Amino acid sequence: MVTKTTKDGAPVKPTTRKAPAKRAARPARRPGNFETALAALGRKADEASGKLAELTDEGAKAANRQLAKASKATSVQVEKLQKGWQKMDATRRAQVVAGAFAALAAAVVPIVVHRRRKGQRRASADEKSAKG
């Protein structure tokens, strides 16, 4: 038996060849398998759309009920406020109006300050770009 050697004379070990990896057995393809799968997907889509429509309808009914409750509660509160307003004397009415304006002003101040600062930053940026 002849042994192989490298260029410098060292013997080369014989290598064993690995067997190819075995593939998993697949079931034989049947004609019409694609059509069957497509039909099953169609049925599932129909079921899902039916359930979605049902849930949507229930959600819309619940939303309408909540809206009706809220509007009824709001109208009741408006009536109570109106009766209370009619019973108030002029001094108390003036205090209520002043309080409402104060609350409105307090809510608007952060917005105005933000816009003024934003305008100042924009103006300073314009000045810098004009100089440079």
More confident residue, 64 or 33: 64
Residue 121 is assigned to a structural domain of this protein: yes
Residue 15 is assigned to a structural domain of this protein: no
Identify the pLDDT of residue 117: 85
- Residues 82, 111 within the same domain: no
| DSSP one-letter string for the chain | -PPPB-TTSPBPPPPPPPPPPPPPP-PPPPTTHHHHHHHHHHHHHHHHHHHHHHHHHHHHHHHHHHHHHHHHHHHHHHHHHHHHHHHS-HHHHHHHHHHHHHHHHHHHHHHHHHHHHHHHHHHHHHHHHHH-
Residue 52 is assigned to a structural domain of this protein: yes
Residue 104 is assigned to a structural domain of this protein: yes
Identify the pLDDT of residue 102: 92
- Residues 131, 96 within the same domain: yes
What Cα–Cα distance (Å) separates residue 83 from each residue in 18, 34, 71, 77?
A: 95, 73, 18, 10
Identify the pLDDT of residue 94: 92
Domain count, the chain: 2
- Residues 69, 95 within the same domain: no
- Residues 43, 81 within the same domain: yes
- pLDDT mean across residues, the chain: 81
Percent of the chain surpassing pLDDT 90: 6
- Residues 74, 93 within the same domain: no
Q: What contacts 24+ positions apart, CB below 8 Å, involve 3-12?
A: none
- Residues 74, 117 within the same domain: no
pLDDT tens digits, one per residue of 17-56: 777 778 777 766 555 666 777 777 888 888 888 888 888 8
Over 80: is that where the pLDDT of 82 sits? yes
Domain with 98 in it = 89-132
Fill in the amino acid letter for 9. G
What Cα–Cα distance (Å) separates residue 37 from each residue in 25, 26, 34, 47, 111?
A: 21, 17, 5, 15, 59
- Residues 49, 64 within the same domain: yes
- Residues 100, 72 within the same domain: no
The predicted model gives 65-86 an average pLDDT of 87
Residue 3 is assigned to a structural domain of this protein: no
- pLDDT confidence of 1, banded at 50, 70, 90? low
- Residues 73, 110 within the same domain: no
- Residues 40, 81 within the same domain: yes
More confident residue, 132 or 80: 80
Over 90: is that where the pLDDT of 98 sits? yes
Structure tokens of 9?
Answer: 């004379």
